[in-house]
Amino acid sequence: MTTVALIGAGRGLGAAVARRFGREGFSLALISRSQERVDAFAEELNAEGFTARGFEANVRDTRSLTEALDKAVQELGPIEVITYSPLPQKEFLRPLLETTAQDLEGAVEFSIYGPVAATHQVLQGMRALGRGTVLFINGGSGARPSAKVAGTSISFAGESAFAQMLHDELAEENIHVGQLIIPGQITEGSENKDPQVLAEKLWAMHAGRNEFRVFAEPMDQ
């Protein structure tokens, strides 16, 4: 049995993704800043018949993130898939002219240092398995910069570039890298942006192993 590590695991999209991959036989490593929350979430999933564990980490602290991923491997088995979808902090969503250099430091830690650290931590294990998937999940500013949300627009650009290069570099090793762009809010009951619908898209990206970037819905012109 292999593991999917959900970085930024929450009760919305994270829960839907956990259950979707869990139904396919994956163990579930739930990674979030609150040990109490992920433990409660893991307990709920275990009661439903899945195999889940919670691990505390802050993506802006790369050491805590790599340690959490290492513990997940020790407790649950090799990581075949990671999803990276922590929620951006409010200071990353300020307008351009209100965004300071200090705000960008946090955004870069969140959207570049975190993904780079997580990916490098799991690559050796994926290579040993002979397969793997890394899925980045971003808002609309990951594909189209907006001066209304400067921090994510700038840092997501770096994350997107990193992810695209990974996609190209690792394809021959049977390690697929993809990016799901979700414009606007995730909304229960939405045709395109309901958590269950998005979880299905992410599963299809993992199973299909085709294009790099997928849009939850077309972006407004």
- Phi, psi angles (nearest 5°) of residue 217: -155, 160
| pLDDT at residue 103, rounded to an integer | 86
Confidence of residue 1 (pLDDT cuts 50, 70, 90): confident
Which CATH superfamily does the domain covering 3-215 fall into? NAD(P)-binding Rossmann-like Domain (3.40.50.720)
Tens digits of per-residue pLDDT, 44-65? 999 999 999 999 999 999 999 9
Distance CA 127, CA 154 (A): 31
Least confidently predicted of 81-85, 145-149, 204-208: 145-149
pTM score of the predicted model: 0.95
Mean pLDDT of 79-101: 89
Distance CA 170, CA 127 (A): 10
Distance CA 184, CA 198 (A): 13
Tens digits of per-residue pLDDT, 150-163? 999 999 999 999 99
Tens digits of per-residue pLDDT, 134-188? 999 999 999 999 999 999 999 999 999 999 999 999 999 999 999 999 998 899 9
* Cβ atoms of residues 110 and 88 within 8 Å: yes
| pLDDT at residue 16, rounded to an integer | 97
Least confidently predicted of 5-9, 27-31, 47-51, 187-191: 187-191
Distance CA 212, CA 177 (A): 6
| pLDDT at residue 208, rounded to an integer | 96
Tens digits of per-residue pLDDT, 189-203? 999 999 999 999 999
Mean pLDDT of 112-127: 97
* Cβ atoms of residues 133 and 179 within 8 Å: no
DSSP state of 58: -
Q: Would you say residue 82 has pLDDT above 90?
A: yes
| pLDDT at residue 143, rounded to an integer | 92
| pLDDT at residue 210, rounded to an integer | 87
Confidence of residue 11 (pLDDT cuts 50, 70, 90): confident
Both structure tokens of 4: 């999917």
Mean pLDDT of the chain: 95
Cα first-last separation, the chain = 44
Mean pLDDT of 111-123: 97
Could you state, in order of their start, the residue ranges of all structural domains in the chain? 3-215
Which residues, including other chains, have CB under 8 Å from residue 52's CB and lie 6 or more apart? 18, 22, 27, 28, 29, 30, 41, 42, 45, 46
